[in-house]
Structure 1
Amino acid sequence: MSIPSGIKTTLLTLTWFPVLYSFSSHVFSPYQISGFSMTPTFNPGTETTTKDIVLVRKYNLKKPESLKRGDVILFRSPSDPEKVLTKRVVGLQGDTVKPKHPPYPKDETRVPRNHLWVEGDNSFHSVDSNNFGSISQGLVVGKVVTVIWPLSRFGTDVSKGGRDARKGYGDIPVKSIGDI
């Protein structure tokens, strides 16, 4: 007795679901960016209601040397782990950072071991490390690789923006541990 080709095709297709699930859970996955905290890097302009969809790399992110200043990351909110936030890495472990605005209680702070200082590109609409302090690198969900939607912005370089855009790379108020 032979199996009909329709059932054979269905069974073969079903065997690929675990592979696709594992790939999107642990390797690369698309994410939709909503909100204005990363404008103009994501969701620029108000003339359209489309939200950017980005490709996120999910592997090899827990090591301290896996991320650098300027990377855009997705991470679980320290105050509400159900929320995933998108921000730019401004400070790495050992860096001394000058927070941008008054909610943070100190004029200068040192980023602890295995932590990151993150900020939104649009500081007026961003809840970030200036509000809740450094985040553990264990909260990182992924690193944004590129914009994949809308097609007019496909392949946009997301490494430019944040403090780098406002002041130029040499003027970032961050000191590396080697500079102290």
Structure 2
Amino acid sequence: MSASAAVTEGAGSATAVTSLGAAAAPGGRDGVRVALAGLDAAPLSRKRAMLLAMLVDAEVDRRATGDLLAHRRVVAAKEPALATAMEVAAMREHGPRLATETVPADGADPQALSEADYMVSLYNAGTVQRMRIVWPDGARADAVETLRHAVAALERHAPAAPPGPAA
């Protein structure tokens, strides 16, 4: 592992995440998974959120077998999270954008917060920062959650793996 790599612990296993997020990761599903791990490690990173949105968008395109625009319309109609990720990745002037915002902490259930979020909320009037998707009309959604749903949608609709060599 290079000096620029960090190791994060998660669910009993170590996952390598480069300091550049998933930029050094292979494309396709593996690149998306590495980018998601990078965003999970740094959930306030706009760069990592945008990288994941771009990789999700590229993976949707990679799976097209015919008319690319028709494929994107079908995917967007079936999976709202993928539609949102594709819109964020498009970076249109009047489209949704990523922003770090202060939101109220879930005061009803302090145990639902991580220790770090709980401590931040104590010193910030019951608020924490989150990466959000912001639409021009004022609508907002949690970016990490939405992108996680987009990755899950890609996994659900993954093309079948080619058969391995016969033994």
TM score, norm. by length of structure 1:
0.28
> Higher strand fraction: Structure 1 or Structure 2?
1
Larger RCO, structures 1/2 (Cα 8 Å, 6+ apart)? 1
Q: TM-score, normalised by structure 2?
A: 0.29
